[in-house]
Amino acid sequence: MSQSNVAVNLILKKLAETTEKAKTRAKKASEVLLSPLDTELSTTPYEVVYKEDRVRLKYYRPTEVKQKYPLLVVYALINRETMLDLQPGRSVVQNFLDSGLEVYMIDWGYPTRKDKYVTIDDHVNGYMDNIVDFIRKKHQLPQINLMGICMGGAFCVMYSALHSEKIKNLITTVTPTNFDTDKGLLHVWMKYTDAFLMGESYGNMPGDLMNLGFLLLNPARLILDKYVGFYENMDDKDFVENFIRMEKWIFDSPDVPAATFHQFVTDCYRKNLLIQSKLELNGRRVDLKNITMPLLNFYGQYDHLVPPEACELLTKAVGSKDTEDICLKTGHIGIYVSSKCQREFGPKIVKWLKEREGDAKVSGSRSDKASDISQTGDRKIAGESLRYVSPKKLVGKKSKPASPELKKAN
Amino acid sequence: MNQDQKKETVITSLFAQWTKSATDFWGNMLQMQFGMSDASEASRKNPFHQTQKAYESGAKILGALISTLSQPENLESALKGMDSLPEFIIQMAQQSWESYLELQKKMAESAAKIGQHTEAYKFEGIDQNVFKAWRDIYEKEFRQYLNVPQLGLNRFHQERIARLIDTLNIFQASLNEFIYMFYIPIEKSGAVMQEKIEQLAEKGEIHDNFKEYYNMWIKTLEGHYMTLLKSPEYAEVMNNTINALVQYREAKQEVLYDILKEFPIPTNKDMDELYNDLYILKKKVSELCRKLDESRQ
């Protein structure tokens, strides 16, 4: 009995303290929330250099160009590419620019009902191919570097298999290619439900509905605990600003064209055609053995959306002998935004690309307008033909990870 | 003549009287209304006279029907037909009442189970009887009334409205079941927390920090959700909800298209056709441009 009384006393005392703390926090929080907050995303300056329908190409120019081959970043159709430039100090784009790498990034825009018939083929062999050609012409280069994120990574894999002559190096990050796994809930749901029907029912697959699906992957944390965390820290201005930025990014979710969504769910999630080299885009088979350029494959050990099992088979399935798997100890988004990964991810990519540039020198004769470039495609740049380049195989066997902190998957 | 036969004769006689007076009354009314118009050739062609003729003809048909009905043998069969109407209503009410009682019984059974026993991290055989019972009853007893074949000019519109009501009912039932699924882990976590706190109390290790309990609860809840969301039961309920939503939306759009057709605005259906044409045209144009570029090179 006496023991019980002591516990109750302690609990009541703690409750009083907590109430007092909450009162102080609420006062401070109101000051923070009512003051001007810096919650802007994507603040690194860029220029829109290409437009086609809803699709735009952003160009980020470094102060000093140190690498010959620019990098084209292809984001997923789900959420937006602003995640790579979330905030100063946590910007993958800024890291690339600091290393002298020219960055192009596709902004897929906001599909409307007009886009409901747009297929994966239209994205890969249409928009992406046009953009790659535009950059090649602008830089007078036969090849460029390509980096894909999540679904955008799957698009990059398809593109590299179909247009291998245009890609110098391929980087895939949290990219699902093997869908025959029940590790991720998304894989289970896509396989066992008719989710693809919703795209057609709504015209396109609504971004809000997809976001609801993502929240339901872990309701306790994403719907409840996250906001408890916000409540506990809302008197901290930095925390609030970062939190709001992330909220802005998470819920800025464009719809996915119905035809693309349907095809991605049925051909990839249900039939798992991509990793088997059986996927067809407009009658052309996506043969992964055609991916002969160097390949760097990143994924997250704790990724609940695209688990390691969905990513790690790619390097074995491609034709390239210069491949590397890097499994970071983080989740799906952590790769791009966590402070620790910021120190590993960007620098590793820059280094990896630099190692594969060979003795190539930065061309000083870059044209700023694609139209300035000859359409004939027979102009020679640095001894390479604009129309055809044999991909260089730098290393004959799988390379080792550069940093001991990076866990090699295989 | 027994009592029943006597009663019947009285009813028949009363009905015959009523039909006669009704026929006379409506006949006189028509005479009064149209009797004052002249009967010249010119007036016979005017629309007023045409209407009068139509009314007269209608009154004659009505009179003939009533007279036929007032004959004892016909009246008897008509009255028998009317007898079956209450029977039909009673049958319907009986069916609905039985279904309602069945549903209530299932609900009572489920309510009795709440708090009885909840096994942590196990979602096999979740008690979804109430939802299943409702769906079964709806499909067996009520749905058939919405599927009664529609007749006449508006039959397609009526069918679409009936389908909308039907799909809405199914969607609501599926959604309720889906939402209920998300409540189960909360119930289970509550029970687990009770057990944990009891154990801590027995050991005298009660925390004085509420955050500790919150962390314990949220971890338990997360675990329960993870188990639930991976279960085939959840995937089935989710799939049912998705399919019900898609069908409901489809039915709703069909009804909306019917209504919007009357307004001078394009529907999604119209626009989709246009977008498809545009999409195909764009693809053809870009293909032709590509071929042209290749031929130039």
pLDDT in tens, B50-84: 666 666 767 676 666 666 666 666 666 666 666 66
CA B220 to CA B234: how far, in whole Å?
A: 18
Q: Which residue of A has its CA nearest to B269?
A: A203
The reply to whether B29 and B61 lie within a common domain is: yes
Q: Given a cut of 70, is residue A378 above it in pLDDT? A: no
- B-chain residues near A202 (CB < 8 A): 249
- At A24-57, the pLDDT tens digits run 888 899 999 999 999 998 889 999 999 999 999 9
Q: Does B215 touch chain A (CB under 8 A)?
A: no
CA A231 to CA A293: how far, in whole Å?
A: 49
3-state secondary structure (DSSP) of residue A204: strand
Which of B50-54, B103-107, B283-287 has the largest mean confidence? B283-287
The yes-or-no answer on residue A150 being catalytic is yes
Residue B60 in any domain: the answer is yes
CA A388 to CA A368: how far, in whole Å?
A: 22
Residue B165 in any domain: the answer is yes
| Residue A201 pLDDT level (bands cut at 50, 70, 90) | very high
**Domain count of chain A?**
1
| A79-88, B25-34, B146-155: the lowest-pLDDT one | B25-34
pLDDT at residue B94 in the model: 74
* A325 DSSP β-pair partners: A297
| Residue B101 pLDDT level (bands cut at 50, 70, 90) | confident
Residue B126 in any domain: the answer is yes
Q: DSSP per residue over A269-331, as a string?
A: IIT-TTTTT--EETTEE--GGG--S-EEEEEETT-SSS-HHHHTTHHHHSS-S-EEEEEESS-
- At A308-324, the pLDDT tens digits run 999 999 999 999 999 99
Q: Which residue of B has its CA nearest to A199?
A: B246
| Residue B2 pLDDT level (bands cut at 50, 70, 90) | low
The residue length of chain B stands at 297
| Residue B126 pLDDT level (bands cut at 50, 70, 90) | low
| Residue B39: domain span | 3-70
Please judge whether B268 and A203 are an interchain contact, meaning their C-beta atoms are less than 8 angstroms apart.
yes
The reply to whether B200 and B65 lie within a common domain is: no
Q: Which residue of B has its CA nearest to A53?
A: B282
* A145 DSSP β-pair partners: A71, A169
- At A351-368, the pLDDT tens digits run 999 999 875 666 544 444
Q: Given a cut of 70, is residue A177 above it in pLDDT? A: yes
Contacts of A405 (CB under 8 A, 6+ apart): A344
**Residue A185 backbone dihedrals phi, psi, to 5 degrees:** -60, -35
pLDDT at residue B30 in the model: 64
Residue B153 in any domain: the answer is yes
Q: Does B274 touch chain A (CB under 8 A)?
A: no
3-state secondary structure (DSSP) of residue A24: helix
Residue B100 in any domain: the answer is no
3-state secondary structure (DSSP) of residue A387: coil
A319 neighbors A291 (Cβ within 8 angstroms)? yes
Domain boundary among B34, B54, B70: B70
Q: Does B182 touch chain A (CB under 8 A)?
A: yes
Of chain A, the percentage scoring pLDDT greater than 70 comes to: 85
Q: Given a cut of 90, is residue A97 above it in pLDDT? A: yes
**Domain count of chain B?**
3
Of chain B, the percentage scoring pLDDT greater than 70 comes to: 64
Q: What does the block give as tokens for A77?
A: 């159709």
CA A302 to CA B282: how far, in whole Å?
A: 43
Please judge whether B235 and A192 are an interchain contact, meaning their C-beta atoms are less than 8 angstroms apart.
yes
Which of A150, A156, A327, A341 is the catalytic position?
A150
Please judge whether B246 and A197 are an interchain contact, meaning their C-beta atoms are less than 8 angstroms apart.
yes
Residue A8 in any domain: the answer is no
Residue B86 in any domain: the answer is no
- A-chain residues near B204 (CB < 8 A): 3, 7
| Residue A292: domain span | 47-408
Please judge whether B208 and A194 are an interchain contact, meaning their C-beta atoms are less than 8 angstroms apart.
no
Q: Given a cut of 50, is residue A381 above it in pLDDT? A: no
Residue A37 in any domain: the answer is no
pLDDT at residue B72 in the model: 64
- At A279-338, the pLDDT tens digits run 999 999 999 999 999 999 999 999 989 999 999 999 999 999 999 999 999 999 999 988
Q: What residues of A are in the B interface, CB distance below 8 Å? A: 3-4, 7, 10-11, 13-15, 18, 113-114, 116-118, 122, 126, 185, 188-189, 192-195, 197-198, 200-203, 216-221, 224-225, 228, 375-377
Task: Give the Cα-Cα-Cα angle B188, B189, B190 (nearest 5 degrees).
Answer: 90
| Residue B5 pLDDT level (bands cut at 50, 70, 90) | low
- As a whole number, the mean pLDDT across chain A is 86
Q: Which residue of A has its CA nearest to B219?
A: A220
pLDDT at residue A298 in the model: 97
Of chain B, the percentage scoring pLDDT greater than 90 comes to: 34
Which of A286-300, A351-365, B115-129, B198-212 has the largest mean confidence? A286-300
CA neighbor of B200 nearest in space, from A3, A80, A361: A3
pLDDT at residue A18 in the model: 79
